[in-house]
Homo-oligomer: A and B are copies of this chain.
Amino acid sequence: MFNNSQAAATTSRRSAGERTKVLIFEKALELFRNKGYEATTMRDIARAAKVATGAAYYYFPSKEAIVSAYYEQVQVLHAAKVREKLAGKEELRERLASVLHLRLEILKDDRKFLGALFRYTGEPGHPLSVFGKGTEAQRKQSVEIFREALGGSELAEEWKELLPWGLWLAHLAMILYFIHDESEGQANTHKLVDRFVEMLVGLGEFADSALVRPFLKPLQGKMMEMLREAAGTKQA
C-alpha cells in the first residue's frame, strides 16, 4: 500500500501506479462533488483520469470503495487536527465540541456523496457495512479519537470503555443529520452538536452529584448492561 520512505527518498517520486491511483481518486472526488455520487459513472471517472474503465478497478474494488478511501483520509486528517486543537484545552465540553465540529469542518463540501457510506449499514456481510467486519479497523481508529477527546476526565472504569464507542455512534448520527441539513452552512448541525455536548456534560455532572447518586445507581446498572450488550461485537 505504501512505499517505504527509503525507496520514496531514492526515487524521489511515487511509482507510476501510485500516481495513477491518486489521479483516479482525485478526479472521482471532483466529479462526486460536482455531479453527485449517483450521477458520476465509473466511465466518467476513468475518462477524467485518462485511463480505461478497468484501470479504476485495478486500484479500487468498487465505486463505493472510493468513498470509503476518502473517508479513511478524512479520519487521518481529523486525527491530526484534533491532536493539534486539543493540545491546550482541558475543559471537557470544549474538547468534545472541538472534535465534532472539526469533523464537520472536514466534511463540509462533501455532503453530496457522504450518503454512499451508509448504503450497506443494514447488510452485515458486505465489506463496506458501517458495522461490519470489513470496516473494523477504521472503526477502532475512529473510536480512539473519541477516547482521546475524553482525555483526563475522571470517569467510572466502565464508562471509560463504553463512552468512546457511544460517541462514535453519535458521530455517525451527526453525519446523517448533516447530510440532511439544508440550513446555511449546515448551521443547524453545528448547533445540534453544541446542544448535545452541553447535555452530555450536564448529565455527567448531574449523575455525579452526591444528592442523586444513590437514586441513579440502579438505573445506571440497567443502562450499562444495555449498552455493553449493544456494543458487543459478537454474541452467542
Contact = CB atoms under 8 A, between A and B. Distances in A.
Interface stretch (A22-30, A47-55, A188-196): A188-196
A202 interface: yes
A114 interface: yes
Given A195-B222, A229-B191, A120 B131 contact: no
A152 B203 CA distance: 28
A42 interface: no
B199 A209 contact: no
> Size band of the A side of the interface?
35 or more
Contacts of A202: 218-219, 222
Nearest to A178: B122
Contacts of A212: 211-212, 215
Interface stretch (A87-95, A160-168, A179-187): A179-187
**Which A-B residue pairs are the 10 nearest by beta carbons?**
A115-B122, A118-B122, A195-B226, A115-B123, A199-B222, A202-B219, A124-B180, A118-B121, A188-B235, A183-B235
